[in-house]
Amino acid sequence: MYLRIGTVHAVDPATHRIRVLFDDQDADYISDWLPFFAWAGSYKLPEKGRQVWCILREEGEEDGLALCETWNDEDTPPESGAGMFYFRAPDGSKLKYHNGVMTIQAASIVLDGAVTVTGNLTAAHLKSNTIVEDAAGNVRI
């Protein structure tokens, strides 16, 4: 088995597979559909044009696994730093954790279930049909 770096040529969300263009040798080569590695419980396919690492069997480049996306000189991370976790969705939404602060930026955020805030809550704009504050300062919306 050996590693190769290529560029995502096509994406098939239904099968969680991608085709990869390898142009690092004499002739360009587009792989067969390769499964894209994902951590258990997660789902994210790379976008067309992203650089990926692949592990391939020496018997044939049609048999292998696309391991991960990688940053490079042309495609640098939008933010970085020690202890940072950063996720960017294709629509530009992002989730970032850095130094104890979680930031979520999206057109809409849906919380399905009970929500409890044990610390301070600051809201720039709050809309509700009913806002009730009790004598202890607890607010119910």
Shared-domain flag, residues 96 and 59: no
Write out the two tokens for 108.
């809409």
Percent of the chain with pLDDT over 90: 23
Instruction: Name the more confident of 47 and 125.
Output: 47
CB 59 within 8 A of CB 49: no
Shared-domain flag, residues 108 and 133: yes
Shared-domain flag, residues 104 and 130: yes
**What's the whole-number mean pLDDT along residues 91-109?**
90
pLDDT tens, residue by residue, 2-59: 888 999 999 999 999 999 999 877 678 889 999 998 877 778 888 899 999 999 887 6
What is the DSSP secondary-structure string of 77-106?
A: -SS--TT-EEEE-TTS-EEEEETTEEEEE-
Percent of the chain with pLDDT over 70: 96
Which of 10, 40, 69 is the last residue before a domain boundary? 69
pLDDT(65) > 80 = yes
Report CA dihedral (116, 113, 98, 54) to the nearest 10 degrees: 160
pLDDT of residue 60: 60
Shared-domain flag, residues 85 and 62: no
pLDDT of residue 33: 93
Neighbours of 50 (CB within 10 A): 17
Shared-domain flag, residues 63 and 113: no
Q: With bands split at pLDDT 50, 70 and 90, how would you rate the model's confidence at 140?
A: confident
pLDDT(75) > 90 = no
Which of 69, 103, 118 is the last residue before a domain boundary? 69
Write out the two tokens for 131.
């806002």
The single residue listed with the structure tokens 């894209």 is 36
**Coil, strand or helix at 129:** coil
Q: Which domain holds residue 13?
A: 2-69
pLDDT of residue 54: 92
CB 96 within 8 A of CB 86: yes
Shared-domain flag, residues 108 and 131: yes
Shared-domain flag, residues 53 and 91: no
How many folded domains does the chain comprise?
2
pLDDT of residue 61: 58
Write out the two tokens for 44.
């994210």
pLDDT of residue 10: 96
* The pTM of the whole model exceeds 0.85: no
Shared-domain flag, residues 92 and 138: yes
Shared-domain flag, residues 65 and 86: no
**Coil, strand or helix at 136:** coil
Which of 69, 91, 114 is the last residue before a domain boundary? 69
Residue 74 forms part of a structural domain:
no
